[in-house]
Structure 1
């Protein structure tokens, strides 16, 4: 069919628009003629140039054009105009006129409004019309004419009142404002709250005057003007952080997979320089694993690409960045090998779509089709919406990875900070240390342009990098540059990094005496005396216990921080004096990182990651695959003491006799959890003993699982608190001691009583 074209014929020619027969049909009122004229004009536009069609084809074409006319009339939708008229009547435009803030910002704004209301209702801000201002601000008075302009005096008194607050209305201690920058942030949030309530911004003149108010209040309340150090964590220090995280027994994780997460998070954050929360929101659908052909003729490379799709997207969807990570096999250790930890997670959850791709040893047997450059290793579709970094939740038999509950930033930040302390760093280690390092490295690299750096960091321009990310301690040997001599950049960069004063001798925790000294604090003594006067079990008693516990934790944390800050200078003076006196350095204390022995799975993991590099390609593949398998095995390890050791000093006199000797303690414990009659009450938990069967005999946790409780009643308490509490009524379970499946919770309780003598 030839292309339809519009005919530009003379408008006075009647044959160009309609036939005489059509004129006889439309001989009615004007409205019909107008409708016909509109229809025929549309037909002219669509049917011009097809005069050679026969009558039957023309009728079919007319029928099709009528449908097209209706579609064009309703704008591509079959809804009539009444639908849109009714929709306009019920449309709520307030949802689109209001400012769109992130949840955290909204909570801050709501908090400021609440504090403004508290201030105005408690003291009326010493101004007669303050209640009217408060009412208008809190959307109580709906008439704008009753609103009185806010003044600098009113704002000064409100911020002074806020700085004087130490407790909330429910007697909880406030964190307080300690820095001038925090006070400035509070003022910015106040302006947002004011604008949301009054629907207009604060006057520019008042805003300028508030800078003087904030300076005066900062001086009056002695607020610190010190900014948080933006020191970088170098690659060498990152390797030390990862080694400490994997090897330490001072820091315990609920599940071995959580320890692997703590390492994988840093390895993905370091090269991407991304925001930490965007890494934590990674889903399996954001990962792409491909076997890539080396254009330079080397062996095939396993390339990992990850896309950060959740980067400050609350204002709308944004273009996402994808970061590629080629694999490096020849490093001295595998601590910095992202592929080992990521592939360990993928193989552990059987994430690959190919059914037989279940072992890392299969990777080296794969090849790329001739003439192609890559082989995709797709992941299972059912994992698309599942988070990579997930929490550990408690189940009947211990801790397992949750179905899809993501790890929070607070959790990963606490892990990073604690492992940094064990490494011996003076400053608090934060994930942003790695983002600072990436920004500084990209700024000085000739391979990364300024635009590419801003794109990778998701910045609109270079202002955020210059203001927040570039180190305020210049990490270049500027003296040598000025003199024209060879600069010592590595030395200066090391002194400006987060690990400049790293020392394993630095205190990590309080000693017993230091922790006991908290009891002499006046606040603790006052709460202790108050607690002694209250009846046990009362609501007031319970709340006072909680306040006392929190205050002790806060004071211990403050004392620990003071000791760590004073240690650097104190230890430096001691080292100087000992050397000048000829005594040398004092003996180093025991390594706080490994105070207790490592378990077999942890030893295997460390041995695999520190294995020396091989000289041939096959040996390098074997070294990588062994490390991946070690990661897979360690993910299933449950860490920490899961069995309470209270009241286990000695068995009760006249209690059940010890089990007869067997070849191993586990076998003896297994025999002891089975009863001969209904009156037998073993003093071991049959579920914990069953878990001990899956552990190597040399595992230190075996002793914890098979230990005897003081009484059989303690076994019942443990069974209810540690096992039954973590399952629903209809959940099925397995008895590892009997190797049988139990249909529901009551079935488990019946089996525990009949077979193992545990009352629940």
Structure 2
């Protein structure tokens, strides 16, 4: 009986010292009398019986080449690329990262780090070691710490803090501090201490510092309010976004958040790979329907990753208002981005007009409108970057929550709502609508809101204002649902006459306040000591102190203006109904409508006028006309996405130059008739006298100082190191911002701001 030879081990790798790993002994017992056949391998790769064996590991039977081939074969057939020592070392090596898991999102970690730094600052202030203070944690220490926190007036970089206004905010501060303690000490604060803080410390501090009880009022945006907000976003000229695409993105955000009840950050994370468009056949033999499916990734991951939720939004044919049509807005964005997929190097869908002629084959039920796979990871909501000559949309960076939040608040103010509109107001309103509809079960509502427990909705999202006609229900009468809807919506507080900003006289009056007068005197005395120009003292202690005083003065003025505006609005809200009653009782005729004069100074650009006209049209009578109405809306949105609308004017409304005043500005240039406005501006900036045009963007101003301020704010301060700088009028490439300022002065007679 032939003796079975050794076979190559699963791992046969050389050590670093040149020796080989021990092979696994697979020899059978010499006295084994089994009847198993021994096989050899023929050249064709099949197994066959053979009385002649080849030992692959025998040096006497093979040369150096055979050894190399044997090693290659061993590596190919190996089950694992690593030796046992690799895993033994892994088991014994200390690794702190495996013991800690990243259970919080980035923003939550920032909040935890902020509270941690507060604790370190407190310990440094009382000259104690933070770790030792953690170990000696008791109720008295916590009371002292929170007392110190409530007394802080300055934050990072010396900025003035807003401060805590509600007791609930102090409760939240305490909860976050408990998490910080747990992360640092690997244990929780004992239950007795926690109860004493909640029952004794926080109420005592709230009473001592006059903190308000309850929570901040939550504004809820219902359907009627949503229509008003989106309409204001489309039509207003009092708020500009730099680039037209940002205005369209805000409309899309309002629509998606108002319908799907998603968290704001989850929508801002939306990428093109999350969107699917389909032309779907109507099972009831109606017109084909454009279906939008968007998948939202869960924003909160504390309890682990959640499954993605997909929302299906069918198109509403004969939509009463295109203002609330996400199909028109989203398709306009996609056509502006040329986001549809290409076939053989050519984009198939390039205009909305092509959608009208698409038909679904009889043997299929849909046509998928694929997007370009190259845009899969590109965010839909993207931020804008300001360059020297224009505003560009970023190719990869998404809009942030801190950017879109003030936009929404400002649009709410322009809509004349009394309450402040926030991004989460849309989620509250959608949740209330879903809860009242009767078409959504509790399980589906929890799926939409991504809540593991339905009690979360009841505690945090259900509005505390009862919107049911309880009297009629108890009396057995039909509830007046239309009255209840009107009573609960934010639209009931709209009054176009409510002041939205201060007049010039009111704004100047804040300078008479004592603390502002003191800051002005300090600044003027310091300016007198430094002398002019201040720029030559840059880097000195007095110059830095002057900057701090100026910054503090600007902040104090702004806070005083905000307080004054709130007082003016509160006074108006109280006195206006009384004045209205008095006017009517005295027999004075009341105007039926009010047309504010604040828009008189603003001209609506042609792309925005086209957008307003297209989105505010009424439904048509025939299907063909309705499709053309939708097409015009999509085209208007796509055109506006490519339009640079500029920035909001910083001047008060009563000091802004009217279009008539701008027309009366004398252009100091001699041109042959009939010139265009652009030719006039181009000629003006090439003369040796100071022009009233910006030589970069050709924007017109009524004073030379306006040109100087505009040049600094709009162009010079946005130049970053490494940016390509050129003069668009002279086609000259410049090396630095200083060289551009010199070119502006010597060639275009334009003076740059002194503080740049």
Report the TM-score, using the length of structure 1 for normalisation: 0.80
Cα pair distance change 1:443/1:57, threshold 3 Å: farther
Show the 5 A alignment for 1:595-744.
Answer: 595=600, 596-640=602-646, 658-672=670-684, 684-689=693-698, 705-706=699-700, 710=704, 718=711, 722=715, 726=719, 731=724, 735=728
Alignment match, 1:560: 565
Unaligned runs of 5+ in 2: 8-21, 39-45, 57-69, 535-542, 751-756
Following the alignment from structure 2 to structure 1, what is the Cα–Cα distance between the partners of residues 35 and 596? 91
Matched, 1:208 2:177: no
Following the alignment from structure 2 to structure 1, what is the Cα–Cα distance between the partners of residues 397 and 23? 64
Shift of 1:367: 1.9
Show the 5 A alignment for 1:4-403.
Answer: 21-22=2-3, 35-36=26-27, 55=48, 77-97=80-100, 100-123=103-126, 131=128, 134-137=130-133, 147-148=135-136, 150-168=137-155, 171-212=158-199, 213-313=201-301, 316-354=304-342, 355-403=347-395
Cα pair distance change 1:426/1:715, threshold 3 Å: closer
1:413–1:430 CA contact under 8 A, matched in 2: yes
Shift of 1:107: 2.4
Alignment match, 1:525: 517
Following the alignment from structure 2 to structure 1, what is the Cα–Cα distance between the partners of residues 649 and 437? 53
Following the alignment from structure 2 to structure 1, what is the Cα–Cα distance between the partners of residues 369 and 162? 49
Shift of 1:238: 0.8
Cα pair distance change 1:488/1:85, threshold 3 Å: same
Please identify, of 631-640 and 345-354, the stretch whose mean Cα deviation from structure 2 is larger.
631-640
Following the alignment from structure 1 to structure 2, what is the Cα–Cα distance between the partners of residues 58 and 312? 69
Cα pair distance change 1:235/1:636, threshold 3 Å: same
1:232–1:436 CA contact under 8 A, matched in 2: yes
1:137–1:198 CA contact under 8 A, matched in 2: no
Output one character per residue of 1:90-111: Cα deviation in whole Å (capped at 9) or x when no partner. 4523454256222222222222
Following the alignment from structure 1 to structure 2, what is the Cα–Cα distance between the partners of residues 25 and 405? 61
2:238–2:648 CA contact under 8 A, matched in 1: no
2:669–2:683 CA contact under 8 A, matched in 1: no
Following the alignment from structure 2 to structure 1, what is the Cα–Cα distance between the partners of residues 566 and 642? 35
Cα pair distance change 1:734/1:363, threshold 3 Å: farther
Report the TM-score, using the length of structure 2 for normalisation: 0.80
Output one character per residue of 1:32-53: Cα deviation in whole Å (capped at 9) or x when no partner. 9975479xx9x999x9xxxxx9
Output one character per residue of 1:10-45: Cα deviation in whole Å (capped at 9) or x when no partner. xxxxxxxxxx5347989xxxx99975479xx9x999
Cα pair distance change 1:204/1:78, threshold 3 Å: same
RMSD: 4.3
Shift of 1:642: 9.0
1:422–1:592 CA contact under 8 A, matched in 2: no
Following the alignment from structure 2 to structure 1, what is the Cα–Cα distance between the partners of residues 333 and 578? 48
Shift of 1:293: 0.9
2:103–2:301 CA contact under 8 A, matched in 1: no
Alignment match, 2:581: 576
2:6–2:26 CA contact under 8 A, matched in 1: no
2:693–2:707 CA contact under 8 A, matched in 1: no
Shift of 1:198: 1.8
Following the alignment from structure 2 to structure 1, what is the Cα–Cα distance between the partners of residues 126 and 192? 27
Cα pair distance change 1:589/1:716, threshold 3 Å: closer
Cα pair distance change 1:317/1:37, threshold 3 Å: farther
Aligned length: 685
Cα pair distance change 1:684/1:745, threshold 3 Å: farther
Shift of 1:175: 1.6
